[in-house]
Amino acid sequence: MKKNENKVTELTVEELKIIIDDIIDEKFLEWFGDPDEGLELKPEVIRGLRESMRRIRDGTEKLIPMDEVLKNIAKKRKE
pLDDT at res. 47: 97
Residue 1 lies in a domain: no
Q: Check if the beta carbon of residue 75 is closer than 8 Å to that of residue 17.
A: no
Q: Tell me the average pLDDT across 66-71.
A: 91
- Pairwise pLDDT comparison (1 vs 10), residue with the higher score: 10
* 22 pLDDT more than 90: yes
The reported pTM is 0.43
The DSSP call for residue 79 is -
- The number of folded domains in the chain is 1
Q: Return the beta strands (E) in 19-68 as ranges.
A: none
Domain span at residue 74? 8-78
Residue 70 lies in a domain: yes
Q: Quick one: pLDDT band at residue 1, thresholds 50, 70, 90?
A: very low
Q: Check if the beta carbon of residue 77 is closer than 8 Å to that of residue 17.
A: yes
For residues 8 and 12, what is the distance between their CA atoms, to the nearest angstrom?
Answer: 8
